[in-house]
Amino acid sequence: MKGSKHGNDDARPTADTDGCGASRDPCEHIRHDLNAAQEELAHLKHTLNRIQRIARLGYWRLSLKTGDLFWSDVIYDIFGAEPKTFTPSLLGFKSMVHPEDLESVEAAIVRAHQWGQHDVVHRIIRPDGEIRWVHELADNVPEGDEQVLIGTVRDITEQKRLELRLRQLSRTDELTGLFNRRYFMQRLVQELARYRRYGRPTSVVLFDFDHFKHINDTHGHPAGDQVLVSVGKLLRHKLRTNDIPARLGGEEFALLLPETGIQEAVGVAEKVRHLITEQAFTSEEGHRFGAAVTCGVSAFVGSEETVEAILHRADHNLYEGKRAGRNRVVADEFHS
């Protein structure tokens, strides 16, 4: 009986087997693995947040059915919103989209409904008034009977600023800040096409400085640059916003004057000539000197007009002015 009693005692669960089978080691191992997994998940989440902040890339989730919107922390930073006071929603998001871009954003959301893809670049206006550029990408993911957009938003403001700067450099003369020859020719071709289609008047003024080499030889090249820079400022400030002033090279300049007939263009050329003549310049040695220009003016005419023809006429008129004594304006069948 004692043997059987001892046998029954051995069959009863002990503290070593309490609720976990043969030993408690497997449970402790599971708890250890679970804690390690939780720590790794927290670390990965922290790393992901760091990556998002470095890349200025945020994650969002939008229910197309309810309009509920989730933002990651980075998106709050990009939009300048305070998580404690701002609850993301489709309506709230739209209120922060630049008014000029709202139509394209709404169209992108409609396309996401239809095709499952969302890709749009637009501006936002932060609560502090700052305007920033963002790029949104997303997929339309079905979740039961609900359509959900899951995507990212990236702050591309610096990229846009760089693109704008590169675009400006590609069409701008570095010294004067005026448009360069390439851009002037592009716009001239566009205006000719508009003239051929609608018959709207457009004129061209070519001008260069009289005896500019003498200015450089007498007062130095910095003085010559001073003259060119000053004329660049004058043209930017005195012409209409739709006029195209350009430096073609050296001391040669051009004005493209849309919606301007020949007589009005002569008036513009005379205004520019007088403004330049009235300016006084000072060399690095303190010597004061002046400058003058001669202008050639031409306008689009006839159904067979070409870019080459109008530039040839304006250039011919310019050199007619040079031969006639300089510091004057010469135009097609019009002398001043």
pLDDT exceeds 90 at position 126 = yes
Looking at residue 5, its pLDDT comes to 47
Looking at residue 269, its pLDDT comes to 98
Say which of 40, 136, 146, 251 is annotated catalytic.
Answer: 251
DSSP for 21-33? TT-SHHHHHHHHH
> How far is residue 164 from each of residues 78, 80, 153, 169, 218, measured CA to CA in Å?
21, 24, 21, 9, 39
Looking at residue 45, its pLDDT comes to 61
Ranked by mean pLDDT, the top range of 13-22, 25-34, 246-255 is 246-255
pLDDT exceeds 50 at position 2 = no
CATH class of 172-335: alpha beta
pLDDT exceeds 80 at position 22 = no
251 is catalytic: yes
Query: 3-state DSSP call for residue 303?
Result: coil
Looking at residue 334, its pLDDT comes to 53
> How far is residue 59 from each of residues 53, 143, 152, 304, measured CA to CA in Å?
11, 18, 4, 58
* Tens of pLDDT, residues 60-112: 998 878 888 999 999 999 999 999 999 999 889 999 999 999 999 999 988 88
Looking at residue 134, its pLDDT comes to 96
- pTM for this entry: 0.63
Indicate the range of 10-14, 127-131, 315-319 predicted with least confidence.
Answer: 10-14
Q: Give CA–CA dist 132/79, Å, rounded.
A: 8
Looking at residue 111, its pLDDT comes to 87
pLDDT exceeds 70 at position 19 = no
CATH class of 56-160: alpha beta
How long is the chain? 336
Q: What ranges do the domains of the chain cover? A: 56-160, 172-335
Q: Give CA–CA dist 173/180, Å, rounded.
A: 5
Looking at residue 169, its pLDDT comes to 84
Q: Give CA–CA dist 62/151, Å, rounded.
A: 9
pLDDT exceeds 90 at position 34 = no
* Tens of pLDDT, residues 281-303: 999 999 999 999 999 999 999 88
Percent of the chain with pLDDT over 90: 66
> How far is residue 48 from each of residues 83, 195, 301, measured CA to CA in Å?
19, 57, 65
Looking at residue 107, its pLDDT comes to 93
Looking at residue 1, its pLDDT comes to 44
* Tens of pLDDT, residues 43-61: 656 565 565 555 578 989 9
Residue range 208-233: mean pLDDT, rounded = 95
pLDDT exceeds 90 at position 8 = no
Looking at residue 52, its pLDDT comes to 56
Percent of the chain with pLDDT over 70: 82
